[in-house]
Amino acid sequence: MSDSRFFRANGPFSLGHIAGVVGAELAQPERADEMIHDVAELADATSGQLAVFCDARHAQAFADCHASVVVTSRKLSSYPHNGSALLLADDPRLTFARIGKLFYPSPRPKAAIHSRAFVAASATIGVDTEIGAGAVVGENVQVGSRCHIAPNAVIADGVIIGDDTVIGANSSISHALIGAHVRVAENVSIGGEGFGFVPGPKGPMRVFQVGRVIIEDGVEIGGNSAIDRGSLGDTVIGAMTAIDNLVQIGHNVKLGKGCIIAGQAGIAGSTTLGDYVMVGGAASISDHLTIGSGARIAGKSGVMRNVAPGETVAGYPAVPVRQWHKQTAALARLIARACDKD
C-alpha cells in the first residue's frame, strides 16, 4: 500500500467500472457494485483492495489472499483462493498496470513558472506548463502544453519539447527534438558530445559532433542515463521505448519503437536496433552493428556481431542462447573433471 505522504489514490471505483475501463471480465458479476479503494501486493492486500496473480509460483499467496478482487488469467483462476472476486484478463500484468494508472495517474503540472527560473524572452511555453526553481530555458526553445520542467533542469537553445512531457530535476537537454508524452528522469544528459576521437600525433583529437537527438513520442528515460547527439546524422530513440537508469547510448545510435533497455547497458555509436528489441542489464553492444527487430540480449552479454531478428543471444562474446547454454555446461564439466583429478 502506498504512503499517503507521497501518493494519493483516486477513487474509490466499483468493480464494474474497473472491469469496463480495462476490458476485463468480472467472474462474479453480482459483485459489480463492490467498491475498491486501492491496489496492493498479493500477499498484503486486504478488503477493499485489488491485487494481481500472474505467476503460478505465487499460488500460496493467492490462496491466502484477502483482497476484495484479484486480477488473473483464466488458466490461473483455477487455483484455490480465499473468496476474492476475480477479474479475468488475457494479460493480467498489463491489466494490473492499467488499473494502477486509474488509481495513480501522472501528477498534473501546476501551470506556473517559478520566480527563480530563467526563461529566455524568445522561448515559447505552452499552456498549463510548470517550470521549477532554478530551471533554465534557453533562446528559441519551444515547450509544449502541460509539461513539467523540474528544478535546475537546463533546456539549451533551440530545443523543442512536445506536449505532456516531463523533464526531471538537474537534467540537461541540448541539440534535441523531443516528442509528446516523454518522461525524462533526474540527472539525465541528452544531446551532449559523443565519444568520438581519432588518433593524432599529439594524442586523440575530438571528432566534431553536429547532429541531433530525436526522441519520439512516449519514450521513458531513467535517471543518470546519457544519450549523445549524432556526429553528422541523428541519434534516434523510437516511440514508446523504455530506457532504464544508468544507460549509455552513443552517437548516431538508432533505436526502433518499443525497445526496452535495462540498467547499466551500453550501446556504442552508429549501432541500429530494430523494433521491440530487449537489452538486459549491463549488456554491452559494440559499434556499427545491426540488431534485428524482436531480438533479445541477455544481461551482461557482450555483443560483437549483428543479431538476426527474433534471435536471443547471451554470453561474452554473445552467441545464440542455446549455444551459450552448451558452452556453460561443457565448461562446468571440464572444471568438475579437473577438480576430480586434484
Q: How far, in Å, CA of 185 to CA of 180, rounded?
A: 15
Cβ atoms of 234 and 214 closer than 8 Å = yes
Which contiguous run of DSSP H or E holds residue 277? none
Nearest to 178 by CA among 237, 226, 119: 237
Cβ atoms of 150 and 131 closer than 8 Å = no
Q: Give the dihedral of Cα atoms 282, 283, 288, 289; nearest 10 deg.
A: -160
114-125 as b/e: b if 16+ CB within 10 A: beebebeeebeb
Cβ atoms of 95 and 24 closer than 8 Å = yes
Cβ atoms of 321 and 308 closer than 8 Å = no
Cβ atoms of 164 and 179 closer than 8 Å = no
Side by side, which strands form the sheet with 172-173?
A: 118-119, 136-137, 154-155, 172-173, 189-192, 226-228, 248-249, 266-267, 284-285, 302-303
Cβ atoms of 223 and 187 closer than 8 Å = yes
- Write down the catalytic residue from 181, 251, 288, 325: 251
Cell of 171: 537534467
Which residue type is seen at 175? H
Q: What is the DSSP letter of 78?
A: G
Q: How far, in Å, CA of 139 to CA of 290, rounded?
A: 37
Cell of 290: 545491426
Say whether 58 is catalytic: no
Which residue type is seen at 171? S
Cβ atoms of 274 and 256 closer than 8 Å = yes
Residues forming the active site: 251
